[in-house]
Amino acid sequence: MAKQSVNRRHFLKTTAAGASALALPAASYAKVVGANGKVRIGFLGVGGRCQQHIDVILQMQKEGKAVVPVAVCDVWDGDPELGNKKGRGLYPSAKRCGLKEEDKDHVTKDYRKVLDQKDVDVVGIATPDHWHARMAIDAMKAGKDVYCEKPMTRTIAEAQAVVDTAKETGRVLTVGVQSMADPTWHEAYKYIRAGNIGKVLQGQTSYYRNSNVGQWRYY
């Protein structure tokens, strides 16, 4: 049983570092494990980004951690012609997670059905940006902890509404900005600010990709 043990704080660190997957707090983990021994996850938006979240969860399962995907939601069925080894789309992702297509409560195009399920403890949101605030707020009000991909919202007003809901409900909200917490970048910033490379006249960066394909089509 010790091998199966996983607390939410450890889960947060592991998934955020590995592929910015789902976050679970130690404070509320006991309520989940005390009842069923597993942390049960629903994925909202199962395109390319979410596949990395699923990768982490499946790897944690292989390592004996008590986490399990129990629901997926997306408006796109998925396309077998794409060679969906990574499961992009609703039905390929359901297959990756070991879910049955005919279970319309857990394999659905309506995210509210996922939130209605009592066997979902946490949701991961990797939908287009304009859905983030609405889904995060609805999920927390439904008693779910939330991992939300960046950007959390599109506006300050939306961000404040999400934060207010987290405070009101006591749910845990984590946003996928794990790379910004990487100490490498903080040290580089300090080094440059200290003048160690002289006066900076120009800077050029790239982040994860260098492609002429529009970002919205990348996945």
pLDDT, one tens digit per residue, over 115-133 is 999 999 999 999 999 999 9
pLDDT, one tens digit per residue, over 199-219 is 999 887 766 666 665 555 555
Regions of the chain short of the pLDDT cut 50: 1-14, 16-21, 23, 25-29, 34
What pTM does this model have?
0.75
- pLDDT, position 3: 44
First to last CA, the chain: 38
- pLDDT, position 178: 73
Exposure on the CB side of residue 195, measured as CA atoms within 13 A: 0
- pLDDT, position 5: 46
- pLDDT, position 68: 96
- CB contact burial 67-77 (16+ within 10 A = b; e otherwise): bbbbbbbbeee
Residue % of the chain over a pLDDT of 90: 63
The highest-level CATH class for domain 8-178 is alpha beta
What residue segments make up the domains of the chain, in order of their start?
A: 8-178, 181-217
- pLDDT, position 2: 41
- pLDDT, position 179: 75
| The pairing of beta strand 122-125 with beta strand 39-44 | parallel
* Cis previous bond, 151, omega within 30: yes
Distance from C-alpha of 24 to C-alpha of 79, rounded to nearest angstrom: 32
Instruction: Provide the β-strand partners of residue 40.
Output: 68
